Each structure stands twice: as C-alpha cells, then as structure tokens.
C-alpha cells in the first residue's frame, strides 16, 4: 500500500526484547510493516541503554530505515535537584531534550516526508512544536501508561517522608505535563480502556484508538517446564524494583513457610546490587540475561508482585501465550480482561501469594488447565497481527492517509 509513511520516535532503542516496553514498541513497528507501511524508526541511543555497534547494525534491517542518535540521559543527583527546584517540567521530560535529536528529526522529516509521526513516549512531546512547523503529518502518541498514575501509586506505597514527598511532587508535575501535551496530538493510542477513560476526562474531543499490546502466538514447544517461579523485568524502572523488594522482604517468608521447596528466580536489565547477594534460601537472582525467551522457557510460574504501575504488563501476555501459570497482583493484571481463577491467580497479600503457590504445586492438573485457558484467551484477544490490522484500518479512517 504505497504512500503510507510513518516516522516512529522512541527514547531508546527497542532491543533486546527482554522487557515490556521494548516488546510493545517492537510489536508496533512490525505491525505497521505487516500492513504495508514504510516505517522509519528514529531512536535515542542512550547512555542508560547502550548497545554494541554490531548489535545496532544487525537489527531492524527489514524496515525502510533505522537510525539512532547518541544521547546522554544519565540520572544525576545534581540534575535531579536542579530540576526539582527550578523547573516546572518533570525530569523525565527534561532528560530527553537534546538538540542533536531535534536536528535529526528535522533532517528525517525533510528527506522521508512522513504521513504520520508516531511517538512512543509522552516525554518526547517537547519536540512537537518543531515538528508541527516542518510538516503537516498527523501526530500520534502511544500511551504505554498514564505516567502520573505510576508515580502517584509508587508515592502511596513509599514510607519515607522525603522520598514520598518527592515522588508525590513528581507525579503532580507529570500529570500537569501530560494534560498539557495530550491536546497537541491528532490521535492518542492508549493500550487499555481504563487509560482511555482517564484521557477523555481531560481531552474529551480528542480522537482515541484503544489498542492493547499484541503478542505472537507460537506453537507449543517441547521443552520441559519446571514448576518454579520466575520474574523478568527491567530493573531500572522503579516500580519493578519496589515490587521485587516487597516480594523478597514481605511475601517470600509466607511462601517459603508454606512451600519450603519452592524456588523463585528473577532477572532483568540493570539489576541493583542489593538484589545480587544475601538473598533468602530458595531465591536466585540471575542478573541481566542475554535472551529473555531462553531464560523463561523452562519455568512454569510467572510471579508479578507489582504494586504500582499502569498500562499492560506485556510479560503477562507473553507468559500466557507460552502456557505459563500467572500469579499477579491487581495492579499487575490491570488492563488485561482475564478472569481470576480461570486465566490467572490473583494475589495482593503475602498470604494470598503463599496460597496461590501452594495451590499450583499441589494441583498441577488444574493449574495446567488455567495455563491453557490463558493461552486460548490471548490467541483470541491479543494476537498481534489482528490488532495491527485493526489499528491501521482505524488510522486510515481517522487520518485519511492516502
């Protein structure tokens, strides 16, 4: 389908596919490509997510173009304090404001002439005024989360006064930032109806397409799965760190007491030093792993102890598609219309986690049925190819891209 050109901007390179954010962006890129769109991916190559040149040169060779701009986005104490004292914008947005990236956007727009500019992070919205001056392309924002909700929930779970105050203030500033930039777009694409409803409260007339993250449904493999727990997530995202800390400190004693032979493994990018040593018996930290699929393929039980966050946990969708049994908090399962007891097990307290683990280990036939129910559920509602077709059809109608 000629004439449909889309420039996708992202504040990091979506690789490796070991965390939900990268998986979600990758699925969107491939979805546009499958529908015949010419896709130009322009990504920040950040200091916090640095990749070898050989890796960069080997990915996204199947799309129209893929380029990166080196960006220093390290979080520093001085920068954080200065932002808190002297800026009305959240540090999350300021850290991604770089002239080199702005210049590259301008250059790409001139040469590529996109019909659509699709932004994969609300914190890149500072580039919109310059984009609007240069092109009449329609502007689309993908909402992975309602960002202020993530940080407000984290503040609510924080006990220390100083940290709690900072996170509450940060949530307030992100909320003001999001409400300011949402109306600048032609279309918003939230990934859950819950997030869509939040947006409609503030910009009721804005065009909204609600499309969840899709996953590929692959044939079942023959690898033996061990009835152990696992968690794989980017550990430079604060809600994930807080979730693992809570699970180790508060949840694990109850689980280990009820099922002393149960094993729990966790891994992720930028693993904090606090999790690498001195862990209780039965818990193993595997640090950063090169291949997420290889890491989880032989493990049966996904544990999601998330207590703050938003959007959809892509790792839950992937686990269900792979025939895993999922134990999740209410926050973790948010945005996924799965049924408790049929597609997953719900646990919000240490005692509930312990009971869920015990049920699985002592009722493996019933637990396997839950896993297979979940796999069928994902195939019906979250197949990436079907969702991509749905999205592009709706974009064509709304944007009238010729």
The answer to whether residues 318 and 23 touch, using CB atoms and an 8 Å cutoff, is yes
Determine the Cα–Cα distance for residues 80 and 163; give it in Å rounded to an integer: 13
Of 151, 149, 143, give the one whose Cα is nearest residue 125: 143
Q: How confident is the model at residue 308 (pLDDT cuts 50, 70, 90)?
A: confident
Three-class SS state of 120: coil
- Angle at Cα 369 formed by Cα 363 and Cα 375, nearest 5°? 140
Determine the Cα–Cα distance for residues 357 and 345; give it in Å rounded to an integer: 9
Q: How confident is the model at residue 2 (pLDDT cuts 50, 70, 90)?
A: very low
202 and 234 part of one domain = no
68-95: buried (b, 16+ CB within 10 Å) or exposed (e) per residue? bbebebeeeeeeeeebeeeeebbbbbbb
Chain-centroid distance of CA 220 in Å reads: 25
Q: Is residue 73 part of a domain?
A: yes
- The parent domain of residue 185 ranges over 5-214+384-399
Residue 39 in tokens: 């896709």
Q: Is residue 149 part of a domain?
A: yes
Q: How confident is the model at residue 138 (pLDDT cuts 50, 70, 90)?
A: very high
Q: Is residue 220 part of a domain?
A: no
The answer to whether residues 153 and 58 touch, using CB atoms and an 8 Å cutoff, is no
pTM exceeding 0.85: no
61 and 207 part of one domain = yes
What is the count of structural domains for the chain?
2
CA quadruple 22, 25, 31, 36: dihedral, nearest 10: -120
334 and 247 part of one domain = yes
314 and 395 part of one domain = no
Element (H, E) at 229: strand 226-232
8, β-bridge pairs? 41, 118
CA quadruple 239, 240, 244, 245: dihedral, nearest 10: -40
| pLDDT tens by residue, 34-50 | 889 999 999 999 998 89
Mean pLDDT of the chain: 92
Whether 402 has a pLDDT exceeding 50, the answer reads: no
Secondary structure of 131-156 in the HEC alphabet?
A: HHHHCCCEEEEEECCCHHHHHHHHHH
65 and 91 part of one domain = yes
Determine the Cα–Cα distance for residues 299 and 264; give it in Å rounded to an integer: 10
> Which pLDDT score is estimated for 88?
86
260 and 389 part of one domain = no
Three-class SS state of 382: coil
143 and 244 part of one domain = no
Q: How confident is the model at residue 77 (pLDDT cuts 50, 70, 90)?
A: confident
CATH (domain of 266): 3.40.50.2000
116 and 23 part of one domain = yes
> Which pLDDT score is estimated for 311?
63
Residue carrying structure tokens 């950040």: 46
Give the mean model confidence (pLDDT) for residues 106-134: 95
């Amino acid at each position: 389908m000629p004439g449909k050109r889309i420039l996708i901007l992202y504040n990091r390179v979506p690789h490796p596919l070991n965390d939900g954010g990268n998986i979600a962006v990758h699925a969107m890129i491939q979805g546009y490509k499958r529908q015949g769109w010419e896709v130009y991916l322009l990504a920040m190559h950040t200091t916090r997510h640095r990749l070898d040149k050989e890796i960069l040169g080997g990915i996204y060779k199947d799309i129209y173009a893929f380029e990166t701009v080196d960006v220093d986005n390290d979080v520093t104490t001085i920068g954080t304090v200065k932002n808190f004292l002297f800026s009305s914008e959240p540090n999350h947005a300021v850290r991604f404001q770089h002239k080199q990236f702005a210049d590259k956007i301008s250059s790409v727009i001139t040469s590529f002439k996109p019909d659509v500019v699709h932004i994969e992070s609300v914190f890149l919205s500072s580039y919109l005024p310059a984009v609007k001056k240069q092109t009449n392309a329609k502007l689309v924002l993908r909402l992975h989360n309602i960002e202020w909700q993530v940080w407000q929930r984290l503040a609510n779970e924080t006990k220390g006064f100083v940290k709690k105050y900072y996170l509450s203030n940060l949530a307030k500033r992100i909320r003001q930032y999001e409400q300011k930039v949402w109306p600048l777009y032609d279309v918003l694409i939230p990934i859950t109806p819950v997030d869509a409803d939040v947006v409609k409260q503030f910009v009721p007339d804005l065009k909204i397409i609600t499309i969840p993250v899709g996953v590929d449904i692959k044939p079942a493999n023959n690898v033996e799965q061990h009835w152990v727990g696992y968690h794989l997530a980017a550990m430079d995202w604060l809600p994930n760190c807080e979730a693992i800390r809570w699970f180790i400190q508060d949840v694990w004693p109850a689980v280990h007491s009820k099922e002393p032979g149960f094993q729990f493994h966790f891994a992720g990018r930028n693993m904090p030093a606090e999790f690498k040593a001195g862990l209780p018996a039965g818990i193993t930290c595997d640090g950063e792993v090169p291949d997420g699929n290889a890491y989880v393929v032989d493990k049966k039980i996904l544990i999601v102890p998330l207590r703050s966050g938003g959007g959809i946990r892509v790792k839950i969708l992937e686990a269900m598609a792979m025939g895993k049994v999922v134990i999740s908090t209410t926050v973790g399962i948010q945005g996924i219309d799965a049924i408790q007891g049929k597609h997953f097990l719900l646990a919000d307290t240490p005692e509930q986690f312990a009971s869920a683990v015990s049920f699985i280990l002592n009722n493996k036939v019933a637990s396997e049925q839950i896993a297979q129910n979940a796999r069928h559920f994902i195939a019906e509602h979250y197949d990436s190819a079907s969702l991509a077709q749905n999205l592009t059809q709706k974009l064509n109608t709304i944007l009238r891209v010729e």
